[in-house]
Structure 1
Amino acid sequence: MTPLARLLTASQFAFNAGFYAVLPYLAGHLTGALGLGGALVGLVLGLRTFSQQGLFVIGGALTDRFGPRPVVLTGVTLRIAGFVWLAYATSAWTVTGAVVLVGFAAALFSPAVESEMAREALRAERAGGPRRTRTLARFSAGGQAGALLGPVLGTLLVYGAGDASFRAACLVGAALFALVLAAHARLMPRGGGTRERHGTVRRRAILRDRRFLRLALAYSVYLLLHNQLYLALPAELDRVTGSQAALGWFFALSSALVVLGSGPLERRAAAVLDAPAMVRAGLLLLAAAFAAGAALRPLGGPGAALTLTVLLTLGQMLILPATRALLPDLVPAAHLGLATGALSSLAGLTVLAASPPTATLLTLPGPTPWLLLAALPVLAIPAVPSAPAVTAKALTRT
C-alpha cells in the first residue's frame, strides 16, 4: 500500500475503535445514569444516525470543493469536541447536542476519507500496484478491526471505571481521535479541491445519472439487508434461545471474518470477476443468507443465525470494496466526494424508511419473511451497472 493508503486505513481503524468504544453503551447511559425515557432515547439515537448518515452528502460536496485535508481535519476536531461534550453532558438537551455534533463530524470526515481512498487505490492500480479492490478490501478490514477492538476497549472502561465509566470511554475515544488529528495534520497532502464555475449544475447531473442511481439502488438493498444483523439476528436468537445474550459473539464473529478474510476473498474473487460482477456476487450471497436461514429455521438451534451472520458478512466483504472501486468509473473525479457521500445518504434514507416495515415483517411466523428478504438482492442484481473504460480523468480533478 502507498503511504497515503496506509494513513487512511490506519485512520479508519482509529475512527471505528474510538466510535465503538462509546456507541454500544450510549443507550444504557441515557436510560441509566441520565434516566431518560425510551421515546427520548430513541429520538437521541435517531438524531445521531440522521446527523451522520443522512448528511454524508454534505461532507462529500465539501470534499470536492476544498479537498479532503481541511474536511477531514474539521470533522475530526468536531468529533473530539463532541466526545468531550458527551462525557460531561448531564441533561437531555446537552446530550442531544453532543450526539448530533458527533454524528455531523462523521458526515464530514467519512466521505472525505472514503473518496480519497478510492482515488488513491485507483492511482496505485494504474501505477502498477495492487488491484484497487485489494487496496479497498484492506481499507475495509482496517475499519472492521477498529469496530472489533472498540467494544472490547469500551467494555474494559465501562465495567472498570466505576461511576465515571461512560465518561472514561468518551474521553478515551476523544484521545484516539486526537491522535488521528495529529497524524492527518502532519501527513495528509494539501490541495485537491476544485472551484469549477458550473459545479452546481454538474453536481445535480451526477445525482440524476442513471448509472450512479442504479448503483445506489443496489447499495441501498445491501445496506438494508446487512442491517438485519440488528433486526433479524436478535429476533432469531430470541426465538431459539429465549435471549440475546449471545448477540455480541455473533457480531465479534462478523468482525473477525472481515479482518481475517477480506484479503483472501478479494484475491480469489478478483481473479475471475471485475468490480460490477463482485457486487452482483455479493448480492447473491445476501440472498443465500436469508434463503438458507429460512430452510434452517425449522430445525431449531443456532444454525439459521450462524448462517445469516456468515453469509451476510461474506456479501459485505465483496460489495463494499467493489462499490468503492466502481464509483470512480461512473462519476467525474471532481465529484467523487459528492458521489461517495450521496451513495451513503441515499442508502441510509432507504434503511430509515424500510426498517419499520421490515421489523413488522419479521414478527410474522414461518419462513415467509426471510424468503421475501432473500428476493430483494436478487431483484437488485440487474441494477448493478457495468464499468465503462477507465480514463485518466478518474485520477485528476477537472
Structure 2
Amino acid sequence: MTALKALLRRWSVLGRLAELPAPMRLIVLGQLAFNTGFYLVLPFFALHLTRDLGLGATLVGLLLGLRTFSQQGLFFLGGALADRFGTRPVALTGFVVRIAGFVLLALADGLPLLVAGTVATGFAAALFSPAVESELARRAGELERAGGPAGPTRSEAFAMFGVAGEVGVVVGPVLGSVLLAVDFAVTSLAAAGVFVVVLVAFARVMPREPAAHAGEPLLGGWGRVLRNPAFLAFTAAYSTWLLSYNQLYLALPVELERVGSAGVLGALFVLSAVIVVLGQIPLAELVRRRLGTRALPLGFGVLAASFLATAVLIALEVPGPVPAVVFVVLLTLGQMTVVPVAQDAVGRLAGERRLGAHFGVLASAGGLAVLGGSSLLGALLDVDARPALPWAVTALLPLASAVVMGVLVRRVPALRAPVPTPERTSS
C-alpha cells in the first residue's frame, strides 16, 4: 500500500502539486482558471458574431485577428512591465482588464464595444501570462537550486502548469456549451466571474515583493534580450512549435472536412487534452532522468514526424480521419516533450535575469511565426489537388528547429544536457 501511494503521488498532478509552495501552487491552479474562463467564450465567439449579431466573415476575421495581435503580439510589452513593476501588480492589472473585456463583450451590440472588448481580452493575457510564467520560472528555479532530494524541478513545475491548462481547455468549452444555450452574454459574464475569483486569489496569496528590476529602464530588458544571441537563436527555433500547434485550428479542420469527418474535430481536441493530462507528468519525469535538454531536438523531431506521417498517409489515400488522428497524437507527444524543457531553458539562457522580457519576447516571436506561416500554409491548403503538400512543407519547419536545437544543446553551456541523475526519493 505504501508503494502504491508513493507511485500515485509521484505520477499524479495533485500529488506533485502539493509539493509546491503556495504562490507556485496558485500559479499552476491559476492556469486552469485562465483557460477555463477563456475557453468558456473563445470557441463560441465567432458563432455569436455571425448568428446573433449578423456580422460578415470579413469583420469576424478582423475581430479574431485583433484578439490574436493584442494578446500574442504584445507579450513582449507585458513581460517588460512585469520586470519593471513586479509580477503581482502587472498580473492583477491583467485580470482586471480581462474582466472588463468579458463584460464589454457581454454588453456589446455593435462594433465599437466589440472591438473594445476583443482588444481588452487579448491585451489582458499579454499582461498576466508573461508575468505569471516568469514568476513560476523564478520561484521554481530558486527551489531547484536550493537542492534537496524532494520537490519538483522547474521543468516538472511547468509540466504541471501545462496539465492544468489542458484541463481548462476541456472544462471551458463544456461549460460554455451549456451556458450558450441560455445566452452568449451569460457565458461572457460567467467567464468574467472566473477571473474575479482569480483576481481575489492572487491578491490574497501572491506576496507583495519589490520588482526584480525596479528603478531600471523599461527598455533594459529588451536590450538584454537583443544582446543574447543564444537566446535569439533559441527563440527563432522555438517559434515553430507555436506554428505547428496552431495547425490544430487551421490545417486539421481542413483535412477533416476534405475526408468528410468534420464531426470528429471536437473529439480530437479532447483526445489531445486527455493525453496531456494523463501523460505529461510521467513524461516530464522520464525526460528529467534520461534526457535533460537533449529532449529539445527529439521533441521537435516528433513534431516534424507528426506532419510528415500525415502527409504520407494522405498521399497513400488512407481513408477517413486516420491521418488526422495520427497527427494529433504525435503533435501532442511532441508538445509534451518540448514545452516544459524549453520553458525551463528560458531561465537558464536569461541568466535568471529579466525573465519577464525573455518570456514575453519568446511568446511574441511565436505569434509572428503563426501570423506569417499560417498565411503561407493557408494558401497551400487551398490547392485541393495536392492535399499532402502543406503537411510535407510544414514538416520542414520543426525539422529545422530540431537541427538548431541540437546545435544549441551541444554548444551553449546554459543548455548543455546534464548527466542523468539517479531518481530522487520523496521525504
TM-score above 0.5: yes
Structure 2 residue matching 1:213: 3-state secondary structure: helix
Q: Structure 1 CA distance, aligned partners of 2:22 and 2:413?
A: 28
Equivalent residue for 2:185?
A: 167
Q: Assess, with a 3 A threshold, how the Cα gap between structure 1 residues 202 and 185 changes in structure 2: closer, same or farther.
A: closer
One-letter code aligned to 1:331: A
Counterpart residue identity of residue 398, structure 2: P
2:173: which partner in 1?
Answer: 151
Aligned partner (choices 227, 230, 241) of residue 249 of structure 2? 230
Structure 1 residues 332-385: Cα deviation after superposition (integer angstroms, max 9, x where no partner): 433100110111011101111111111111233153332221122111123223
Worse-superposed segment, 117-126 or 64-73: 117-126
What is the Cα deviation at residue 191 of structure 1?
1.6
1:49 maps to what in 2? 68
Match of 2:161? 139
Superposed counterparts of 1:1-398, under 5 Å: 1-127=20-146, 128=148, 129-159=151-181, 161=182, 165-193=183-211, 194-197=213-216, 200-201=219-220, 203-241=222-260, 243-275=261-293, 277-297=294-314, 298-364=317-383, 365-384=386-405, 385-386=408-409, 388-389=413-414
- Per-residue CA deviations over 1:51-71 (Å, capped at 9, x if unaligned) read 000001111001001110000
Determine if contact 1:30/1:36 at 8 Å carries over to the other structure: yes
1:102-140 C-alpha deviation (Å, 9 max, x unpaired):
111111000001111111221221223322111110111
How many angstroms apart in 2 are the aligned matches of 1:57 and 1:300? Answer: 44
Alpha carbons 1:221, 1:380 under 8 Å: kept: yes
- Of 53-62 and 312-321, deviating more is 312-321
Distance 1:224-1:139 versus aligned 2 partners, 3 A rule: same
Quick one: distance in 2 between partners of 1:97 and 1:366? 39
Q: Check 1:375–1:18 CA distance in 2 against 1; reply closer, same or farther (3 A cut).
A: same
Q: 1:372 to 1:89 in 2, by over 3 A?
A: same
Deviations 1:216-264 (A, max 9, x none): 11211111111111122111111212x5221111111111111111101
Quick one: distance in 2 between partners of 1:103 and 1:374? 29
Once the 2 structures are TM-superposed, how far is the Cα of residue 201 of structure 1 from its aligned partner? 4.4
Distance 1:93 1:196 in 2: 37
8 Å contact from structure 1 (residues 36, 92) kept in 2: no
The amino acid of 1:36's aligned partner reads: L
**Percent identical residues:** 47
Deviations along 1:180-211, one digit per CA (max 9) or x if unpaired, are 00000000011241235466345313124211
Q: CA deviation at 1:388?
A: 3.0
Aligned length: 384
Change (3 A) 1:202 1:34: closer
Does the 8 Å CA contact 2:36/2:171 hold for their aligned counterparts?
yes
Provide the TM-score with structure 1 as the length reference: 0.93
- 5+ residue gaps, structure 1: 391-398
